Structure 1
Amino acid sequence: MPPPRRLDRRLVLLLALASGAAVANLYFAQPLLDTIADALGTSTGLAGLVVTASQIGYAAGLLLLVPLGDLVERRSLVVRMLLVCAAALALCAAAPAFGVLALGIAVVGVTSVVAQVLVPFAGDLAADDERGTVVGTIMSGLLIGILAARTLSGFVAELAGWRAVYALAAAVMVALALALRRALPVIAARTTTPYRALLRSIGTLVREEPVLRRRMAYGMLGMTSFTLVWTALTFLLSDRPYDYSEGTIGLFGLAGLVGALAAQGAGRLWDRGLGRAATASFWALVLVGWILCDLGAGSLAALIAGLVVLDAGVQGQHITNQSTIYALRPEARSRLTTAYMTGNFCAAAIGSALASALWGVGGWDAISAVGVATALIALALWAWERRAPAAVRPAAVEARKPTAPAAGRPVAARRPSRRG
């Protein structure tokens, strides 16, 4: 039997670039709020609502657009989403008033979920023994996009004004749409389920797949931890003994680049059948990271080391989670992504709210205590999972077969249960 066809490395890198560029659109406004407020004659507080608009749009896109990846031909879906995103970014660049800018940012948020369409698409295109590595590489690009967005937007705005940031982003989206139209294969839809039933089936997937529920729990704990530390970090570094400027605080985001490297490592571990062991290892890193971060209240070296270790652990478990759920039902990877990422999005909101509340109650020690608790809960869940009997899937679910194998290859057997 010939070996399975490997996914072209150039295509993987293009998908990583597209995912990072798409998600970066959500973060361009954050360092520009003061500038935007002055330019459009509004308050900084009101200008901050553009961030809220992007978050609302992104949540809507997760729920309403990402599931379409199982229903329609995805190359066309990706190209159209990128072009609509480009149009919305161009509207932002030309916005004559704050209301127009907020509308454009909301549409950018909706269409930037194209990154969450590309990740399961890549999972379909990859061979079984490389899927974790491919997903990890694309997630690395996505993470780098998040980290680089604020720095890039500040640099471009300083040189050419804040409108140039959105004009440049619009041009990048058009270029990526053209490149992906040429590079991506045309693959038939995975299901013929009507759209409303498709949305309802997301809840069914959550009910029927215990592995999905557990991985959603890991993901939500990880996102709560991640958002908690990066939101509260600004409070810590702007206060004594550090008293750092906003520019200096922004440089701490470079520690997150380690998370991008961990993403690829997590994918390779999963490909080798070590998903369960990797989950425990990454959560142990989160625990150690929080302990170091707590010491970082008075030690810069401990703080930087803690951020590096914590981010590596959070991002590593995230990639392990995604690689695991994509092995559950090949015909439903986009809907699995919707369920998983919606949980993550809700957890991010919880983490942000907790950061402000905990800082007022007990400062950095309170933040660290809750962060340690997220790691301990995740490790307890992992230990319980090892003792729990293997879940029995309904016979009707076991009998269900995908309607169209990916990239002309037969659909592989389910991954060994140890990866759940």
Structure 2
Amino acid sequence: MRKDLQVDSEKELSGKTVLLMAIATGIIVANLNYIQPIEGLIAASFDVSKATVGVVAMLTQLGYAFGLLLIVPLGDVFNRYHLIQVMLGLSIIALFLAFLAPSIEIFGLASLLVGITSVAPQIIIPYAAFLAPSLHQGKVLGNVLSGLLTGILLSRSFSGLLGSVLPWQYVYLIAAIICALLLLVLHRYLPRDPRSHSSMNYGKVLASLPNLLFKEPHLQGSAINGFCLFGVSNVLWSTLAFYLAHTYHYGSGVAGLLGLLGITGVLFASIIGRLVDTYSPRMTIGLGILFSTLAFVLFALFGHMFLGLIVGIVLLDLGTQFGQVSNQAIVQSLSLKASSRNNSIFMFSYFLGGSLGTFFATFAWSHFGWTGVCSVAAVFLVVAILGHLVLKEPQKLQRSK
């Protein structure tokens, strides 16, 4: 990177800009999680099985994974200021389609499109890393990712509570209106991209992805770890509403309220970023695996006790955040020129794990109950531990130029 460009970038990244980026990532990523607390309501509305709605929820995650693979790499080629706004506009259209869907088939298509188009946060994250001062990249990423996690947890609460008082379709209508307001704010206040236009075309960008993965062992490690930890997270959140209804006879409102327990991860996001900068991403990823494992030990042994469920959710969200911030810091340290493509590979694996976690967990719930759900999580955690031992994360970050 040219020295003058670095100086100009750092001037752009004020505290207000970081806050705007954090808020934007939170609002947009929320689109992916609205379905989780209201799956039972959707099943009843369309008169389909819970397993069918589980497949629709998986389509949202799977669509996001392919959006990450096919769209996010364009951040290394096109102007990110414009690309972010284009994708946000398309997600607004997809949300309106979900609101108007007359059948489960149309709603499934809309959910797939919501996933594909809601990738702007994964363009914003490498953009923030690009603009961030080198010595504070972990802190900046932690702050932006805290917005991401806030969006995830508040989306569950928003969706669950709104679904308990209004028809569930209004969740998507209100989400579309919020995203439209965000689009106006981003158009006015998001920093302009200072980079010159890249000579790479779309075909070359996509063709470069396998080579980037094969030549970067740390990218491989982060991809496997993200796959497993987000898969574990979705194992819980895709079945929690079913478990609460079956065990405690609670509705979507309680499932939404439990999402607020993820505030622990939000509060720790900036601290985790500082730990990554100061100490070791290998250490913080190890902590993420540990917290996630302890969470499902609690779910398996004490899930029938509400206190055990609460403590487990706090640990799980904390583990997810430790993994997310640490892995993003590793991925964004590898190459500035390929930051969007590296992020695309990592987040594709991340949400592929999430979609498979959703699918296998809902399948396990339908056939084996809560024991089956915890068993699916155990498989993801074993793979995470093996990846952590074999593909060692860096002890210290060194940002590439």
TM-score normalised according to structure 2 size: 0.83
- Looking at structure 2, the residues matched to 190 and 15 of structure 1 have their Cα atoms a distance apart, in angstroms, of 23
- Looking at structure 2, the residues matched to 18 and 110 of structure 1 have their Cα atoms a distance apart, in angstroms, of 17
Secondary structure of the equivalent of 2:238? helix
- Looking at structure 2, the residues matched to 190 and 32 of structure 1 have their Cα atoms a distance apart, in angstroms, of 43
Aligned counterpart, 1:89 = 95
- Looking at structure 2, the residues matched to 316 and 296 of structure 1 have their Cα atoms a distance apart, in angstroms, of 24
Q: Is the 8 A contact 1:70 1:189 kept in 2?
A: no
CA offset digits 1:360-403 (Å, max 9, x no partner): 676544544553554454344434455x9x9xxxxxxxxxxxxx
- Looking at structure 2, the residues matched to 310 and 262 of structure 1 have their Cα atoms a distance apart, in angstroms, of 13
Matched, 1:349 2:355: yes
Of residues 204, 207, 214, the one that matches 2:221 is 214
Q: After the TM superposition, which of the residue ranges 220-229 and 95-104 deviates more from structure 2?
A: 95-104
Q: Is the 8 A contact 1:282 1:317 kept in 2?
A: yes
Aligned counterpart, 2:47 = 43
CA gap of 1:103–1:276, structure 2 versus 1, over 3 A, is closer
Q: Is the 8 A contact 2:163 2:253 kept in 1?
A: no
Q: After the TM superposition, which of the residue ranges 354-363 and 196-205 deviates more from structure 2?
A: 354-363
Matched, 1:254 2:260: yes
Superposed, which structure 2 residues align to 1:3-14 within 5 Å? 5=10, 7-14=13-20
Q: Is the 8 A contact 1:262 1:313 kept in 2?
A: no
CA gap of 1:278–1:360, structure 2 versus 1, over 3 A, is same
CA gap of 1:381–1:91, structure 2 versus 1, over 3 A, is closer
Of residues 168, 174, 177, the one that matches 1:171 is 177
CA gap of 1:150–1:268, structure 2 versus 1, over 3 A, is same
Matched, 1:300 2:300: no
Matched, 1:205 2:209: no
Matched, 1:237 2:228: no
- Looking at structure 2, the residues matched to 11 and 106 of structure 1 have their Cα atoms a distance apart, in angstroms, of 31
Residue type of the alignment partner of 2:220:
R
Secondary structure of the equivalent of 2:192? coil
- Looking at structure 2, the residues matched to 134 and 70 of structure 1 have their Cα atoms a distance apart, in angstroms, of 20
Q: Percent identity?
A: 32
Residue type of the alignment partner of 1:257:
I
CA gap of 1:175–1:221, structure 2 versus 1, over 3 A, is same
Give structure 1 stretches of 5+ with no counterpart.
391-413
Aligned counterpart, 2:195 = 188
TM-score normalised according to structure 1 size: 0.80
CA offset digits 1:70-90 (Å, max 9, x no partner): 010110111222223234434
- Looking at structure 2, the residues matched to 167 and 361 of structure 1 have their Cα atoms a distance apart, in angstroms, of 34
Paired residue total:
390
Matched, 1:140 2:146: yes
Secondary structure of the equivalent of 1:330? coil
CA offset digits 1:136-157 (Å, max 9, x no partner): 2222212222222243245556
1:67 shift after superposition: 0.8
Residue type of the alignment partner of 1:324:
I
CA offset digits 1:331-380 (Å, max 9, x no partner): 11111111111112221232223324545676544544553554454344
Aligned counterpart, 2:76 = 70
1:55 shift after superposition: 3.9
Of residues 331, 341, 346, the one that matches 1:340 is 346
- Looking at structure 1, the residues matched to 319 and 288 of structure 2 have their Cα atoms a distance apart, in angstroms, of 4
- Looking at structure 2, the residues matched to 179 and 33 of structure 1 have their Cα atoms a distance apart, in angstroms, of 32
Of residues 325, 339, 352, the one that matches 2:331 is 325
Residue type of the alignment partner of 1:43:
D
Residue type of the alignment partner of 1:80:
V
Q: Is the 8 A contact 1:282 1:312 kept in 2?
A: yes
Residue type of the alignment partner of 1:192:
S
- Looking at structure 1, the residues matched to 378 and 164 of structure 2 have their Cα atoms a distance apart, in angstroms, of 39
- Looking at structure 2, the residues matched to 297 and 375 of structure 1 have their Cα atoms a distance apart, in angstroms, of 18
- Looking at structure 2, the residues matched to 360 and 88 of structure 1 have their Cα atoms a distance apart, in angstroms, of 29
- Looking at structure 1, the residues matched to 241 and 38 of structure 2 have their Cα atoms a distance apart, in angstroms, of 17
Q: Is the 8 A contact 1:15 1:118 kept in 2?
A: yes
Of residues 19, 29, 49, the one that matches 2:25 is 19
- Looking at structure 2, the residues matched to 161 and 191 of structure 1 have their Cα atoms a distance apart, in angstroms, of 47
Give structure 2 stretches of 5+ with no counterpart.
none
CA RMSD of aligned residues (A): 3.5
Q: Is the 8 A contact 1:236 1:297 kept in 2?
A: no
Q: Which has the higher contact order (CA 8 A, sep 6+)?
A: 2
Matched, 1:59 2:65: yes
- Looking at structure 1, the residues matched to 284 and 85 of structure 2 have their Cα atoms a distance apart, in angstroms, of 35
CA offset digits 1:82-138 (Å, max 9, x no partner): 223234434555567777655554443322111111111111111112211222222
- Looking at structure 1, the residues matched to 216 and 81 of structure 2 have their Cα atoms a distance apart, in angstroms, of 28
